[in-house]
Amino acid sequence: MNTTYLKKLKKFIVERDLQYFLLFLIIFAVLTKSSIDPWNGRSRMATIDSLVERGTFIIDNSVYVWTGDKVYINGHFYSDKPPVLSFLAAGPYFLMKNVGLTFQNNEGLVYYLLTLIFVGIPAAITVHFFNKSLKLIRLKKSARLRLAIALGAGTLLLPWATVFNNHVPAMALCFTSFYLLLKSKFQFNKKNIFLAGFLVSLGATIDIITGGVFFVLFLIYILWNRFERKSIMIFLIGALPPFLLHCILNIQITGGILPAQFVPEYFVYPGSPWSAQNLSGFLSHPDLTSLLTYAFHSTFGCSGFFSYSPVLLIFFFALPQIRHRLQKEGVIIILATIIVLGFYILKTDNYGGWSYGIRWWVPLIPFLLFFGSLYLQKQKSYRIFYLLLAISVVISAIGVINPWTNMGLGPIPIVNNLKQLLGW
């Protein structure tokens, strides 16, 4: 009977292509951290703690109020992060508290569980729908396996799937939305259009810039593909609930719908670590040389997005194929990449802070690999891909040591993590 049950379970997993989801869920669960990073994570935990313990977004009385990632509004401190993700995470924490598990008596386990639920599981879901999207474009099973391994183990997704952050869940939401739209291109389904709108809108409430860019570009994609009439309306109706949730929550913090992170005045308070000279999203580079230097090191230099995920270079190798396959999808992905990279290069200067690689661009990773699959389709030999993948897996593994790398040890994140590992 046990054998029969196992056979049925195996058949269920294979038929629904769940093997990649389960494999990487186990990997992410094993690697997920139980210690909260000093600022970013504590800022989010402060909101979660305050919502459940005191029923407010005010973090004045939270044990994590000392974080530097906060704003000061009408005499109170709040997290500077968009509120939706922390609000959603307050639900599981409320259940944990009811069974006696709190930040006060077991911080490590609470943080681990919240990270696994809101980051690890979404990361595994991304790998799952990434595989399904490749199946839609009829990529061979062997190539799908290589790319799934590349996504889950050979990019910045791996280290950032082990700590609480907004970039990974936003990535999962945006890419799943993309998969549903791609599926609707081949077989139109109103439910998928509605869900696509809902998911990308939720992603935009969690990661405002990147999610917002994908939301606009997905609207363009629907128009470009000439889906059935009312598709745009269905998409927008789906997008409405997350947007309304953001508005309701944000009004409780700022009195309006504009996220606190976009109001520089909120960062002005006694002892604030922020100023016009270092506040991401508002600063300007002093000259062209500074801008070009930052652009290089953000992409291919010591903190470079592609330096820390070399396997993503297949995206560039695939560009000549855009005239033959995935033209519309390719244009959407290229535009999203240019806009998101461009914004952060122009309006920031700190490489994501104490960050292993540029964390802001993690949501782009499955899209770049999806388009990069065109390169593998045309290759008889995978030597270059295997070389890039091997290097990428090593770099990603080093990133797992500490995604919030200690930049006090030096300017190069990968070197800092190795120093930490060796105790230097």
Model confidence pLDDT, tens digit, residues 280-316: 777 788 899 999 999 999 999 999 999 999 999 999 9
In contact, 346 and 339? CB cutoff 8 Å? no
The whole-number pLDDT of residue 15 equals 67
Q: Which of 176, 177, 253, 169 is nearest to 206 (CA)?
A: 169
State pTM to two decimals: 0.95
Residue 1 has pLDDT above 60, yes or no: no
Residue 118 lies in a domain: no
Residue 349 lies in a domain: yes
The whole-number pLDDT of residue 376 equals 87
List, in sequence order, every residue forming a beta bridge with 78; answer none if it has no partner: 71
Residue 265 lies in a domain: yes
Residue 79 lies in a domain: no
In contact, 27 and 152? CB cutoff 8 Å? yes
The whole-number pLDDT of residue 30 equals 98
Non-local (6+) Cβ contacts of 81 within 8 A are: 40, 43, 44, 47, 69, 166, 261
DSSP secondary structure code for residue 118 in this structure: I
Alpha helices in 348-409 (DSSP H): 365-377, 383-401
Extract the tokens encoding 154.
Answer: 């050979």
Residue 98 lies in a domain: no
Residue 399 lies in a domain: yes
Exposed/middle/buried for residue 200 (C-beta within 10 Å: 0-12, 13-18, 19+): buried
What is the extent of the structural domain holding 252?
140-422
Residue 337 lies in a domain: yes
Non-local (6+) Cβ contacts of 88 within 8 A are: 118
Average of per-residue pLDDT values in the chain: 93
Question: How do residues 36-74 score in pLDDT, each as one tens digit?
Answer: 988 999 999 999 999 999 999 999 999 999 999 999 999
DSSP symbols for 29-52: HHH---S--TTHHHHHHHHHHHHH
Q: Which helix (H) or strand (E) holds 99?
A: none
Question: How do residues 377-421 score in pLDDT, each as one tens digit?
Answer: 877 778 999 999 999 999 999 999 999 999 999 999 999 999 999
The whole-number pLDDT of residue 90 equals 98
Question: How do residues 333-372 score in pLDDT, each as one tens digit?
Answer: 999 999 999 999 999 999 999 999 999 999 999 999 999 9
Q: Calculate mean pLDDT across residues 144-156.
A: 97
Q: Domain tally for the chain?
A: 1
Q: How far is CA 155 from CA 250, 307, 336, 419, in A?
A: 33, 10, 18, 21
DSSP percent split of the chain into helix, strand, coil, nearest 5: 70, 0, 30
DSSP secondary structure code for residue 100 in this structure: T
Residue 398 lies in a domain: yes
